[in-house]
Structure 1
Amino acid sequence: MARRTSTEDQADATGIIAGYLAYQNWIKFHSEEGRLPSLGKYTPNQLFWISYGRFWCALESDDYIKHFLTRLRHSRYMYRVQIPLMNSEEFSKDFKCPSGSKMNPVKKCKIWN
């Protein structure tokens, strides 16, 4: 399946990092955003990652998964979130994920620096 979805998977991984770097550049010129009152335990950087994950949030039925795996050239939604984020040094830093944990593996797949 990875071969069928590799170009889209690469686009997900590079797109989220490009978006994050653009957000960091925006902060340089506009100053860091304040914390949202009801979500105060999360930093603005953490909310960036959370918003990406929420974009792909969906309930996948068994029939839907079967259709995805046999007919379409897309990765399951959960992988479109987990894989780009677990390979992102920025995500691991922002959430303080321990080295070697699921969301901060020692060996990361990097497409570009």
Structure 2
Amino acid sequence: MAQRKVVLAVDAAVVLATPVLTGRARSNWIPSLDKPVTKELKKESYDKTGGEAIAAAQSVAAGIKFGSDVYISNNLPYINRLNQGHSQQAPAGFVEKAVQAAKGAIEK
């Protein structure tokens, strides 16, 4: 299904584009069906690689049915600041750039 491909591409692009120090920001890209997640993921340690977040998207994508709404949320209080360029690891607008890159990859 095309929607699964889009979800997986966008999720992976956004997760991997997110600056990483502790892995908290990458780990908090949380995919969900039909309603956005409104809470922050809190753990003792976070996956710096983003692999766990990407695996979560694969699990959610497997449950997509025709007409499903899919959300990829990040509720960290500082995610907007990161996206505005407050980290030297990623440019301002990295979320939008990641979505555009995923869109370009899908259209090929």
TM-score of the pair, normalised by structure 2 = 0.33
TM-score of the pair, normalised by structure 1 = 0.32
Select the structure of larger CA radius of gyration.
1
- Structure with the largest fraction of strand: 2
- Structure with the largest fraction of helix: 1
